[in-house]
C-alpha cells in the first residue's frame, strides 16, 4: 500500500511543482504576489474542458489554446500590476485578491458552478511494472510535469535569457546596472508564467474537479511550495512539491479525502511561523 502512496505522492508532488513554478517565477522577478494564480489555472482548465466537451479535441491538443488564453490574460495582468506602487507585495496581494473574485465570478457566469472533469477513459487504465502499478493518468502527469520542469531548468540555467532572469531575481538594481532590461524581464516572467499556468490548467482539469472556487487550493499549494523553496531554485521546488504531495497522499489514506485541503494550509502556516520574513528571507522595510 505504501508504494501506492509514494507513487501518488510523487506524481501529485511533481504536478504541484509545476503549479508553483509559474508563481515562483513571477514573484521572484517582479515581487508580485499573485493570489489569483489558482484562478488562472482553473480558468485554463475550463478553456481545455470547453474545447474537449464541445469540439471533442483531445486533451493534449487543448494545451495550445489554454496557453494562448492565459498568455493574453497574464499580459493584461502584468500591465495592471506594473501600475502599483511600493510596497509591491502588500499592494499586489490586495489587487490580486480582487482579481481572484473577478475571475471566480466570470467563470461562474460562463461555465456555471457545476463540477466539471475532463474525463479521458484511457487515463484510468493501469500500467503494471515490476513492483509498482500506476495509471496512465499518473504517468502522463508525471511525464509532462517533469518534462516542463526540466525545460524550464534548461531555460533558466543554460541560456543567456535565463541568466538575465536569474540575475533579476537575485538583485534587481545590480541587474539593471549590468544593462539588463528589468521591466522587460518582468513582462517575460509573466509570459513564461502564463505558459506554465496554461500547461497546468488542462492537467488540473483532468485530475481534479473544476469549479469556480477551486483556485484557492491551487494558490495555497503554489505559495506553500514557493515559501518552502524560495524563488529560482527548481530543485528545491521539486523537493517541496514532493513533500507536499506525499503529505497529502498520506492524509488521504489515513484520514480520508475530505481532510486533504487541510494539509497545504497547515504546512503553509507552519512554514510562515518558521520563516516569518517570507520568501525573500530578509527583513521587510
Partner 1 sequence: MTREQPTSAPMKHLPLAHMVLLLGLAILLALPLLSGGNDYILQVFTHALLLAILALAWNILAISGSISLGHAAFFGVGAYTSGLLSLESGVSPWATIPLAGFAAAVIALGVWLFCRRLRGAYFALATLAFVEIPRVLTDNWDGLTRGSLGLVGLPGLPALRFGSHYFDIGASSVGSYYFVLVYGLLLLAIVTLILRSNLGLALQAIREEETAAASLGIQVQGYRLLALLLSASLSGITGACYAHLVRYIEPGMVYGLHFSATPVIFAICGGRFTIVGPALAALLLYPLDQFVFHPLLPAGHEFLYGAVIILAILFLPSGFWGQLRKGQFVSIKTGSIE
Nearer to partner 1, 140 or 219 (CB): 219
Nearer to partner 1, 108 or 155 (CB): 108
The b/e string for 153-176 (b: 16+ C-beta within 10 A; e otherwise) is: beebeeeeebebbbbbbeebeebe
- Nearest distance from C-beta of residue 278 to partner 1, angstroms: 5
Nearer to partner 1, 104 or 140 (CB): 104
Nearer to partner 1, 58 or 112 (CB): 112
Contact between 34 and 92 under an 8 Å Cβ cutoff? The reply is yes
- Nearest distance from C-beta of residue 283 to partner 1, angstroms: 10
* Interacting residues toward partner 1 by CB under 8 A: 33, 35, 80, 83-87, 89-95, 97-109, 112-113, 213, 216, 220, 223, 256, 258-259, 261-262, 264-266, 268-270, 272-273, 276-278, 284
Nearer to partner 1, 79 or 183 (CB): 79
- Nearest distance from C-beta of residue 245 to partner 1, angstroms: 18
- Nearest distance from C-beta of residue 180 to partner 1, angstroms: 25
- Nearest distance from C-beta of residue 280 to partner 1, angstroms: 11
- Nearest distance from C-beta of residue 211 to partner 1, angstroms: 12
- Nearest distance from C-beta of residue 92 to partner 1, angstroms: 8
Nearer to partner 1, 107 or 164 (CB): 107
Nearer to partner 1, 62 or 104 (CB): 104
The b/e string for 31-42 (b: 16+ C-beta within 10 A; e otherwise) is: bbbbbbbbbbbb
Amino acid at each position: 500500500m505504501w508504494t501506492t502512496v509514494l507513487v501518488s505522492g510523487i506524481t501529485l508532488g511533481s504536478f504541484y511543482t509545476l503549479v508553483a513554478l509559474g508563481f515562483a517565477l513571477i514573484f521572484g522577478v517582479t515581487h508580485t504576489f499573485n493570489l489569483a494564480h489558482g484562478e488562472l489555472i482553473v480558468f485554463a482548465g475550463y478553456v481545455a474542458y470547453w474545447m474537449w466537451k464541445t469540439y471533442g479535441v483531445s486533451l493534449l491538443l487543448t494545451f495550445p489554446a489554454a496557453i494562448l488564453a492565459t498568455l493574453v490574460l497574464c499580459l493584461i495582468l502584468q500591465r495592471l500590476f506594473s501600475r502599483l506602487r511600493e510596497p509591491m507585495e502588500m499592494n499586489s496581494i490586495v489587487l490580486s485578491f480582487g482579481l481572484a473574485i473577478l475571475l471566480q465570478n466570470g467563470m461562474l457566469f460562463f461555465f456555471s458552478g457545476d463540477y466539471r472533469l475532463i474525463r479521458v477513459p484511457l487515463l484510468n487504465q493501469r500500467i503494471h511494472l515490476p513492483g509498482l502499478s500506476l495509471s496512465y493518468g499518473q504517468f502522463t502527469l508525471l511525464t509532462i510535469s517533469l518534462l516542463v520542469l526540466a525545460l524550464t531548468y534548461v531555460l533558466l540555467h543554460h541560456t543567456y535569457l535565463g541568466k538575465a532572469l536569474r540575475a533579476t531575481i537575485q538583485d534587481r538594481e545590480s541587474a539593471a546596472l549590468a544593462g539588463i532590461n528589468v521591466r522587460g524581464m518582468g513582462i517575460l516572467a509573466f509570459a513564461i508564467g502564463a505558459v506554465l499556468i496554461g500547461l497546468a490548467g488542462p492537467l488540473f482539469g483532468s485530475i481534479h474537479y473544476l469549479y469556480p472556487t477551486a483556485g484557492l487550493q491551487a494558490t495555497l499549494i503554489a505559495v506553500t511550495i514557493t515559501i518552502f523553496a524560495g524563488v529560482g531554485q527548481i530543485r528545491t521546488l521539486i523537493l517541496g512539491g514532493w513533500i507536499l504531495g506525499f503529505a497529502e497522499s498520506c492524509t488521504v489514506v489515513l484520514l480520508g479525502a475530505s481532510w486533504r485541503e487541510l494539509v497545504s494550509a497547515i504546512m503553509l502556516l507552519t512554514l510562515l511561523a518558521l520563516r516569518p520574513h517570507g520568501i525573500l528571507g530578509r527583513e521587510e522595510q
